A and B are shown apart, each in its own frame.
Chain A
Amino acid sequence: MEIPYTVAVRPDTGLNNVKLGIWLFLASEVMLFGGLFSTYVLLRMGAVEWPLGAEFLNIPIGTVNTAILIASSVTMVMAYASLKLGDFAKYKTYMLATVLLPVLFLCIKGYEYYEKVQHDHLPSHSTFLAIYWTMTALHGIHIIGGIAVNGYFWGPGSKMWHTKPAMFENRVEAAGLYWHFVDLVWIFLFPVLYLL
């Protein structure tokens, strides 16, 4: 007996297995980052003094990074749309962009971290820096994961398009949902850490 509803939608739940699975995973991720945002609020409320983001962080660089990540979200959804239109070549182009843009993001972030280390602005310096380093690093790890997954679906995994296109579309959609979530987290992280 085959496992049903791996691609087809089950009528009474309105979902296929992968889509439900990825949304459940994202729900748990909301709670993970929620725990960290809650930590931020608690530490800031209880702090004697709390620095402005601009004191330690470079707002223009952060803005550029935000734009990069949003762009990668757009290219991701365009990659998926290309698949739905049957345009594999366009899919490959957009997906490559979706892989390379966050690599650029990480390089810029790496530069930001390097600068901090040079000025001795380590996590141990203050609770602000501690939560900054921790949240951006955890987000960064999620970006690395996304690059790996998207890279797989751009590269070796894309062979599935020729044998099982519907399932491949499904998988790319799931990867897209994850990637949009990573972008979503940064949409909140950027103003909270850099601008407030």
Chain B
Amino acid sequence: MDNVTTAEGIAHAEHGHEAHELSFLQTYVFSQDHKVIGIQYAITALLFLLFGFTLMMLMRWNLAFPGRPIPVIGNFLGMANAPGGIMLPEFYNQLGAMHGTIMVFLGVVPLAVGGFGNYVLPLQIGAPDMAFPRLNMASYWSFFLGGVVMIASFFVPGGAANSGWTSYAPLSVIALEGQTWWLIGMMFLITSSLLGSVNFIVTTLQLRAPGMSFMRLPFFVWAQLVTSFLLLLAFPPLEAAGVLQLMDRVADTSFFMPSGLVVGDGPLEISGGGSPLLWQHLFWFLAHPEVYVLILPALGIVGEIVANNTRKPLWGYRVLVYSVIFLGFMSFIVWAHHMFLTGMGTTISTFFQTTTMIISIPSVVILSAMFLSLYGGSIRYTVPMLFALAFLPMFGIGGLTGLPLGLTAPDIHLHDTYYVIGHFHYVVAPGTIFALFAGIYYWFPKATGRLMNDLLGRIHFWGSIVAINCVFMPMFITGLAGMNRRLYDGGMQYAHVQGVMEWNAFMSYGAWALGFFQIFFIFNFFWSIRHGKKVGNNPWQSTTLEWQAPSPPPHGNFSTPPEVHRGPYEYSVPGASSDFSMQGEAPGADPEPAKV
């Protein structure tokens, strides 16, 4: 099998009976190859992650040093945003709303699902590509357009959306032009997700190689499959809600605008009769499953890396599969735990409190299975494994801190405080994003044929794990003290948080340190494409199908459809000559050594 680069292989692709040369545009820009699309998604998403991170680093200046001019950057932000380099509250709110939006919808999900899902899933099931390659390309470009619209919104009069990533009505309805751009951007992003999820489900169900039964699928594939169902069924109500909010803003309807609303100098000239709660229900109907979309691919990645670096099967494969399916189902009926303080009423709050407590069970089961997988393993502390290992307790902290938020009584105190921010960041930042880093270090050699630099990876890891805890751990302290979210000056004006204000500067230094350590990763990523140590098909000695293909795989992935004879994690099989047996290896191909 020639070790041709993916691009060359695609440019000289054989589609069925006709071999034809594809143009530069068809190979690199409007590619229909899942590997190219996966890389497009990944790099675009990483850029957005960096941008969203930068927004946060700006915010943290004002939280640490409210009212002080921002050094250097402050001069370039413009009079409308930061006159004299001092951040205006309206600009802080833009940064806040867009940080959330960009990280969730333009960063994490496109990387986790669009990037990793697209690149790895067809390879892991032994497929030549996704079921609908053109749809795949359309879904990437829809994402890209959505991203352009979101970024462009910073430059319209009034700036970007500033009503939180949650865009609650009526504030978002009376907000300036940027909010309309946000809604349009979301339409593109939702479309992208919907097209992608159809593709993933059809691919997983229909294109599995012979012998790849459902219970032989790598856990990563199960995680992506459930994630795709979540995206498919949960996003449309938000699309509907987005249309309704657009109508409220542009056509003066009152879907979310209650009667008698007074703004500024007088009552609004609208029909009224709408419900702000309607927006919240429709938004959270998506946004809660969305957070499981954020975590499930990460759990899948960690599962692969843990099995590979403990040289033993994942503990409780069936339990993991059933848990992830149950988790996906439950995620649709917990959403109103985000609305405990809206005055919904105790009956409904109790219902959602109960379902929220129930959903913690499969999460705990999955995490426990991962921990149990370590027991008795021969642990290799590779860079992917470092990130995967760190994920486990970090996700644990995130999950545990979610419990008092899911219970209605303590939530009265904790809702809308920094405790919430600490909780969800622990799950997404040292949780999901660490898992995504692990995945990048792990699958980089498959995509490029080279390893990323080990030393730089370790510096990246240790710097990040320390810094990230410095940013988020104190949030539980300030949150418990009652420091509110979304305050541009870090709560300076409130008496009840004066005792914890000093944590703001500490957290900001942590955030800037965290930013500093990402430089090692960014450099490593690009440097290793050219100068990383060259490796063959299976540098990690892994069992799953993608490691049977060349690094990088050519167009069509496998010259002949692989046949699957084994489960996904046949590590340390007694009697085998090596400590791993690949899924495509015929059973009995390895004679038993003479018993001693």
Contacts and interface: CB of A to CB of B under 8 A. Distances in A.
Chain A directly contacts chain B within the complex, with at least one CB pair under 8 Å? yes
Interface of A: 1-5, 10, 13, 15-17, 20-21, 24-25, 27-29, 31-36, 38-39, 42-43, 46-48, 122-127, 130-131, 133-134, 138
Nearest to A34: B237
Contacts, number: 134
B541 interface: no
Contact of A28 (B233, B281, B560): B233
Contacts of A3: 127-129, 131, 133, 207
Contacts of B128: 1-3
A1 B556 CA distance: 6
A27 B129 CA distance: 24
A17 B559 CA distance: 22
A122 B251 contact: yes
Given A31-B233, A130-B251, A130-B271, 14 more contacts: A1-B557, A3-B133, A4-B206, A10-B206, A17-B131, A17-B202, A28-B198, A28-B233, A34-B236, A35-B240, A39-B282, A125-B271, A134-B255, A138-B243
Contacts of A33: 240
Given A1-B556, A48-B273, A43 B278 contact: yes
A-B pairs with the 6 shortest C-beta distances?
A: A35-B240, A35-B237, A32-B236, A1-B128, A124-B252, A130-B253
- Residue picked from B133, B236, B270, most chain A C-beta under 10 Å: B236
Given A20-B205, A43-B273, A1 B240 contact: no
Contacts of A35: 236-241, 282, 285
B274 A43 contact: yes
B273 A47 contact: yes
A123 B236 contact: no
A105 B247 CA distance: 24
Given A21-B202, A39-B240, A28 B232 contact: yes
B271 A21 contact: no
Contact of A21 (B198, B234, B282): B198
Nearest to B272: A127
B175 interface: no
B295 interface: no
Contacts of B205: 10, 13, 15, 20
Interface residues of B, number: 49
Contacts of A5: 206-207
A3 B555 CA distance: 12
DSSP class of A's interface residues: helix, strand, loop or mixed?
A: helix
A21 B253 contact: no
B239 A1 contact: no
Contacts of B206: 4-5, 10, 13, 15-17, 20
Nearest to A20: B202
B451 interface: no
A161 to B, nearest CB: 20
Contact of A134 (B16, B127, B237, B253): B253
A42 B279 CA distance: 11
- Residue picked from A17, A39, A123, most chain B C-beta under 10 Å: A39
A118 to B, nearest CB: 17
B282 A1 contact: no
B255 A124 contact: no
A10 B560 CA distance: 19
Contacts of A1: 128, 556-561
Given A43-B255, A48-B273, A127-B254, A28 B202 contact: no
B244 interface: yes
Interface string B200-230: 0110011100000000000000000000000
Contacts of B254: 124, 127, 130
B426 to A, nearest CB: 30
Contacts of A25: 194, 198
A152 to B, nearest CB: 15
B559 A32 contact: no
Interface string B34-56: 00000000000000000000000
Contacts of A29: 236
B275 interface: yes
Contacts of A4: 206-207
B16 A2 contact: yes
A36 B240 contact: yes
